[in-house]
Amino acid sequence: MTTTNLDPSSIPLPTRRRPRIGETGLRALTAATALLLVAIMALLVYETARQAWPSIQEFGLGFITSDQWNVVTGQFGALNFIIGTLLTSVVALVIAVPMAIAIGLFLSELAPRVLRTPVGLMVELLAAIPSVVLGLWGILVMGPFLAEHVEPWLSDHLGFIPLFSGYPSSQGVLPACVVLSIMVVPIVASISRELFLSVPGELKQGAMALGATRWEMVRSVMLPYVSGGLVASTMLGFGRAVGEAIAVTQVIGGANAISRSLFPPGDTMASRIAAQYAGTATSLQRSSLAYLAVLLLIISLITNIAAQLISGRLQRRLGGEA
Amino acid sequence: MSAQDDRNPLTVVSPRSRRRKLQGRLMELLASFAALVAIVVLLVVIFSVAKRGLPAVNADLFTQVAAPFGVEGGGIKNAIVGTLIMTAMATAMAVPIGVLLAIFDTEFAPPQVSVAIRMTLNVLAGVPTIVIGIFIFGLVVVSNGQSAFAASIALAIIILPVIARATEEVLLLVPSTLREGSMALGATRARTVVSVILPSAFGGIVTATIVGVARAAGETAPILFTSSIFANAVVTDPSQPMASMPFAIFTNSESPSHHDQQVAWAAALLLMAFVLLGSITGRLLSLRTRRQIEQMR
Amino acid sequence: MTDQQDTQPSDPGDAPEVTSANPGTRLTELASGHESNPTEGRETVFQLDKVTISYSGKPAICDVDLSVHRNLVTAFIGPSGCGKTTLLRSLNRMNDLIPGASVDGRISYHGHDLNGSNVDPVELRRRIGMVFQRPNPFPKSIYDNVAYGMRLHGMKDDLDGRVERALTHAALWDEVKDRLKASALSLSGGQQQRLCIARALAIEPDVVLMDEPASALDPISTQHVEDLVESLKAEYTIIIVTHNMQQSARVADITAFFSVDVRDDGSRSGVLVEHGPTSDLFIRPSDPRTEAYVTGRFG
């Protein structure tokens, strides 16, 4: 031990002798999965667009405004399916979003504490039911029920509104709307529950201390506070409804027609792909179905990214406030 | 005290405040009613599937393959086997990738990269499953034909974001004091991940896997174009297309034959029971993991 | 607690000269002044008899006997955990919002049982306003913040005038009169807290409860709030919770000192040690615990 009189500052800091294999290895491995993710996403977009390319070249943007879908003449257009998609999704949201927000409110504010976890779990389970099972139920139970009991009533009492006019049908747009709303409710409900839980207690107490009732506090303080997030969750729900293929195919009846009523069969972009892609007669038909997929992809990308931007901006705003 | 309360100005309720309270009660009632409706819908679906499916569940269902056209009887043995194999393969692909991705995202990636990855995961999660079916069809099926393997890839892509996000969530819950504690002892980041973070997040990864399995087992759209033309026999070779429960439900649901519909209900009951049990287990486990990790803080 | 409001400096033009807060000056004044009890001849607003407040069966504060008088500033002081905020929140039944909270004993407000079965907490809170520890303006405009309570309670005539009076009362009008439509979140922390006071005053309460209203504020804003408290007592009855003795000495007429009792089984709960005119409590504390606290040997 002769080092005692060594000046500590002369001891060099330990330097790394050899690269640490574990460290670089794990880092590289995990980074590779990230690259894989990006590659999957890019390839997904590329491959779908590649399949759609012949149809895109043939029809261009006219595809969107044409209501033809004729294998014999080789004329394909998406208009009816776009309208069918928007109609089913919008009606589904109109049914689902208010309900889902109310459920979110129930789970975060109104329900007795003991009920919150089990009821929340049941709402989440609704999202877990496979869509094909929901479709089976839709086609064999709910569709006939709507046609026998609900649609006649609607057309008797609200028939002056074109949406509710016409003859009842067990397969059609209305059952599709109901099935889609069942799928959208749990998504929007669980996001709204999180949003409501994120409202600072200070604000809620501030409103109560001024003599607000609980509902007034909800309406005037909580709802405005979470409104941006609710918009984002609605967009996610919209994306989900637009993209659902299986259950819609099962219940909607499959018809290339626009009706002013919700009762007769129709088709959405996703359901048309599900119904026809596996058994196409011509390559142009297959390519046109891929064109529909490209449109779906674009819609899902836009709604998803927009929803993320909205909630991201919101988080920053609220983060800055805290 | 009642005599005094009669004069108590705090108990005098003006018509206005009566109206306000009534309105509040009404809205709260409506919100509670909405929750009730959701539960009722869930129970109605479960009940009506069980009511129609239970009578059709019998030994044949598990031991027989589908009967030839026009013949009564038969089962879905090949579909059950197919779903089990394809789900297992998809999970085996998606879990390691998803977990590594989550580790990269939470432990190694610079903030901007991590934001970008999270965004990409969300976008991928939002891609309609039918589009993923078309993607794999073009990528794999066109050149190699339909196969269980192709279907598994499609399923794996669908559950990858589910698993990655669920794992990420748990990794983020692991308190930073644990990380710092380990690093302060001179452990490398990798060593910290392997010996400290993964063990404490293990429960969460199991949960993520269960949720992923439940999701993969129930998906139909990606199978439609990748494993839909199969031999009516039990197939275990992944290079061949296989029958599956969701596909069996899908085709039988559109059949006018009462017997086919019976098979569809029975298969739906089995599938739903499997998926719902998986989801409940996953959910309960995740609550438990959350509590455990919170206790570490 | 991050106080981003500190990053926004108060307008120096409006800030009064801050005389360094010296409790000694005030105490000497108090001591040399007349020693009549300030509560004499004043109406009792709150009367607490054997009040115990528990959370899920565990008492947070026990056996409080106390009366609060009209047009005086009453301060609740004591170390943290002594239950002073819990007690304050029981006076407008904000504890109702906490699951498991319960009140034993009797709290009467102008002679009426506050927790009586028919009492409407909404009506109660209209009469008993509250200002919180951290400013909590709603993410709305300055105007809408002040108008919020009035709209709830249907005080719709001359809303503009009422908003102006409330803001003037809270000594904020001059600073915000040109930007009433601006977001309340654009105000500095001190301004936000005065806005919250204005919001409480706007619905014409009888009592204003203040829960450490200056604890999240810088010294200049604290000065503003303290001046405000002083000027408000002509019209309102004020109860202020503070852990700051100097603040209590500066603003309070009556001070109630609370402490934490540790029982044999190790459980803790708050107790009221003594209360009286602020001067008596600070200069001639009758309980050794009070003396220890005010002389800085504890807490």
Q: C259-282 burial string, b = 16+ CB within 10 Å, else e?
A: bbbeeeeeeebbbbbbbbbbbbbb
List, as ranges, residues 250-289 from C with C-beta within 8 Å of A: none
Cα–Cα distance list, A94 to A101, A237, A241, B33 (Å): 12, 11, 12, 17
Asked if C111 has any chain B CB less than 8 Å from its own CB, the reply is yes
Contact C132 A202 (CB under 8 A): yes
How many angstroms away from the CA of C141 is the closest CA of chain A? 13
List, as ranges, residues 178-197 from A with C-beta within 8 Å of B: 182, 185-186, 189
pLDDT band at A281 (very low <50, low <70, confident <90, very high): confident
pLDDT band at C2 (very low <50, low <70, confident <90, very high): very low
Asked if C112 has any chain B CB less than 8 Å from its own CB, the reply is yes
Cα–Cα distance list, B116 to A34, B109, B111, B122, B207 (Å): 10, 10, 9, 10, 25
Can you give the C-alpha Rg of chain B in angstroms? 26
Neighbours of chain A (3+ CB pairs under 8 A): B, C
The answer for residues whose C-beta is within 8 angstroms of residue C15's C-beta and 6 or more apart is C220, C223, C224
Three-class SS state of B75: coil
Asked if C213 has any chain A CB less than 8 Å from its own CB, the reply is no
The tens digit of pLDDT for each residue in C22-35 reads: 544 555 555 544 45
Asked if B10 has any chain C CB less than 8 Å from its own CB, the reply is yes
| Residue B121 confidence (pLDDT) above 90 | yes
pLDDT band at B2 (very low <50, low <70, confident <90, very high): very low
B241-268: average pLDDT: 90
Residues in A closer than 8 angstroms to C97, CB to CB, are: 205, 208
| Residue B6 confidence (pLDDT) above 50 | no
pLDDT band at A160 (very low <50, low <70, confident <90, very high): confident
Please state the separation of Cα A316 from the chain's center in Å.
Answer: 23
Contact B21 C122 (CB under 8 A): yes
Contact B253 A132 (CB under 8 A): yes
Residues in B closer than 8 angstroms to A303, CB to CB, are: 126
Asked if A125 has any chain B CB less than 8 Å from its own CB, the reply is yes
The residue type of B27 is: M
List, as ranges, residues 147-176 from C with C-beta within 8 Å of B: 152-154
- What whole-number distance in Å separates Cα of residue B16 and Cα of residue B32? 24
Asked if B273 has any chain A CB less than 8 Å from its own CB, the reply is no
C182-203: average pLDDT: 92
- What whole-number distance in Å separates Cα of residue B295 and Cα of residue B297? 5
Identity of the residue in B126, B130, B220 whose CB atom sits nearest the CB atom of A304: B126
The tens digit of pLDDT for each residue in C123-139 reads: 889 999 999 999 999 98
Q: Supply the DSSP string of A12-55, one letter for each residue.
A: PPP---S--HHHHHHHHHHHHHHHHHHHHHHHHHHHHHHHHHHH
pLDDT score of C3: 41
List, as ranges, residues 224-263 from A with C-beta within 8 Å of B: 236, 239-240, 242-246, 250
Asked if B23 has any chain A CB less than 8 Å from its own CB, the reply is yes
Identity of the residue in B109, B119, B275 whose CB atom sits nearest the CB atom of A128: B275
Asked if C98 has any chain A CB less than 8 Å from its own CB, the reply is no
Helix axes A173-197, B15-53, angle to 10 degrees: 120
How many angstroms away from the CA of C121 is the closest CA of chain B? 8
Three-class SS state of C284: coil
pLDDT score of C7: 41
A152-165: average pLDDT: 86
pLDDT band at B70 (very low <50, low <70, confident <90, very high): low
pLDDT score of C17: 43
Do residues A269 and A78 make contact, with C-beta atoms less than 8 angstroms apart? yes
- What whole-number distance in Å separates Cα of residue C159 and Cα of residue C147? 7
List, as ranges, residues 206-225 from A with C-beta within 8 Å of C: 206-213, 216, 220-221, 224-225
The answer for residues whose C-beta is within 8 angstroms of residue A211's C-beta and 6 or more apart is C122, C123, C124, C125, C126, C149, C152, C153, C203
Q: Which helix (H) or strand (E) holds C238?
A: strand C237-242
pLDDT score of A14: 67
- What whole-number distance in Å separates Cα of residue A29 and Cα of residue B103? 10
Interface test with C, best of B6, B7, B10 (most C CBs within 10 A): B10
Interface test with B, best of A129, A170, A210 (most B CBs within 10 A): A129
Burial of C9 (0-12, 13-18, 19+ CB in 10 A): exposed
pLDDT score of C284: 84
pLDDT score of C36: 64
Residues in B closer than 8 angstroms to C122, CB to CB, are: 17, 20-21
For C60, list phi and psi in degrees, rounded to 5. Answer: -95, -30
Asked if C116 has any chain B CB less than 8 Å from its own CB, the reply is yes
The tens digit of pLDDT for each residue in C96-125 reads: 888 888 999 999 998 888 888 888 888 889
- What whole-number distance in Å separates Cα of residue B66 and Cα of residue B77? 8
Do the strands C44-55 and C101-109 form a parallel or antiparallel pair, or are they unpaired? antiparallel
For C107, list phi and psi in degrees, rounded to 5. Answer: -110, 120
Identity of the residue in A210, A212, A225 whose CB atom sits nearest the CB atom of C139: A225
pLDDT score of B201: 83
- What whole-number distance in Å separates Cα of residue A273 and Cα of residue A55? 14
Mean pLDDT taken over chain A: 88
Contact B107 A119 (CB under 8 A): no
pLDDT band at C247 (very low <50, low <70, confident <90, very high): confident
Q: What angle do CA A256, A259, A260 make, to 5 degrees?
A: 160
A171-189: average pLDDT: 93
Mean pLDDT taken over chain B: 87
Identity of the residue in B11, B16, B21 whose CB atom sits nearest the CB atom of C116: B11
Asked if A41 has any chain B CB less than 8 Å from its own CB, the reply is yes
Mean pLDDT taken over chain C: 84
Contact A37 B188 (CB under 8 A): no
The residue of chain A with its CA nearest to that of C135 is: A202
Contact B276 A129 (CB under 8 A): yes
Three-class SS state of C211: strand
Cβ contacts below 8 Å, chain A against chain B, sum to 265
- What whole-number distance in Å separates Cα of residue B271 and Cα of residue B55? 16
Identity of the residue in A113, A208, A221 whose CB atom sits nearest the CB atom of C94: A208
Identity of the residue in C110, C116, C123 whose CB atom sits nearest the CB atom of B17: C123
For residues B282 and A322, the model is more confident at B282
pLDDT score of A4: 55
C197-206: average pLDDT: 92
pLDDT score of C268: 86
Q: Give chain A's end-to-end CA distance (angstroms, integer).
A: 57
How many angstroms away from the CA of C111 is the closest CA of chain B? 8
Tokens encoding B161: 């974001």
Asked if A278 has any chain B CB less than 8 Å from its own CB, the reply is yes
Strands, DSSP E only, in C110-236?
A: 112-113, 128-131, 207-211
Residues in B closer than 8 angstroms to C153, CB to CB, are: 16
pLDDT band at B190 (very low <50, low <70, confident <90, very high): confident
Asked if A270 has any chain B CB less than 8 Å from its own CB, the reply is yes
How many angstroms away from the CA of B37 is the closest CA of chain A? 9
Contact B108 A290 (CB under 8 A): no
A67-94: average pLDDT: 92
pLDDT score of A209: 93
Residues in B closer than 8 angstroms to A293, CB to CB, are: 128, 130-131, 134
